[in-house]
Amino acid sequence: MFRIAMTVFCCALLQSSECNGGFKKPFGCQGSAISDQTRDDVLSFFNFIRARVALGQYREFGLSSASDMNKLRWDCDLEAVAKGSVLDCPERASFSASTNAVNFNYYGPYMAEEVLRSPITASMWKWIGIANAGWPADNVFNGNEALRSFANMISANATAAGCYSATCKDRASSACFFSQPEVQVGTLVYSSGNPCGNAGQCTSPKSGLCENGLCVIAV
């Protein structure tokens, strides 16, 4: 279900390599119950949203185009941390966000079956729901909690993410960890400006090649 929704949503709005119909190679994560297809779906969703912002396709929500947006890669270590954070479906995050930004959601009893079946999917759609949240014109996080998860997700300097979710009968928790620190009041989420051009060079935070307005950093 998520795969279909992701493909339609993504490809209808942006002719992007993120809509390539499948992952290119195994991610290589061990000791995890999620599939490479799920990893690819989640990562593609993140990079699609980041590309839309970079290319100025979120202007209806008050977001300018971005000159310094990196493309995310999947990080198995971040996935492992996310897995540990959702074991037994806790109601609240029990970890420090000083090193890594964390998007965390808890779903209690009486939630819809589709949410319990795929809590990470429900969370991602929730994180992009910023239509009435009032994005700051200077792209500096102002403490609005309705924007925090979205700001973590599109933080320009992030280069990697890892996610996990758990369902415990009638409850569920999901978490995504990002490579950059949690946004704080005063954090510049991204710099406004012209995005890089396809196949061109980009330099944030280090040199790479541009793809759909995102800087692809070699690792």
* Cα torsion through 85, 88, 90, 93, rounded to 10: -10
Whole-structure pTM value: 0.87
Six-digit token string for 122: 């429900």
List strand residue ranges (DSSP E) for 8-80, in order.
Answer: 73-74
pLDDT tens digits for 60-119?
999 999 999 999 999 999 999 999 999 999 998 776 666 899 999 999 998 888 899 889
- Res 198: pLDDT: 77
- Res 31: pLDDT: 80
Which H or E run includes 11?
Answer: helix 2-13
Domain, as residue range, for 193: 2-217
Question: Residue written as tokens 């944030």?
Answer: 204
- Res 15: pLDDT: 41
List strand residue ranges (DSSP E) for the chain, in order.
Answer: 73-74, 102-107, 160-168, 171-178, 201-202, 208-211, 214-217
- Res 202: pLDDT: 81
Structural domains in the chain (count): 1
Residue-wise pLDDT tens for the chain (219 aa)?
A: 444 344 434 444 334 444 444 556 789 998 888 899 999 999 999 999 999 999 999 999 999 999 999 999 999 999 999 999 999 999 987 766 668 999 999 999 988 888 998 899 999 999 999 988 999 999 999 999 999 999 999 999 999 999 999 999 999 999 999 999 999 999 999 999 999 887 778 866 567 889 999 999 877
- Res 24: pLDDT: 63
- Res 218: pLDDT: 78
Mean pLDDT of the chain: 86
Indicate which CATH number applies to the domain containing 104: 3.40.33.10
**What residues contact residue 80 under an 8 Å CB cut-off, 6+ apart?**
29, 31, 32, 162
The number of beta carbons lying within 10 Å of the beta carbon of residue 119 is 25
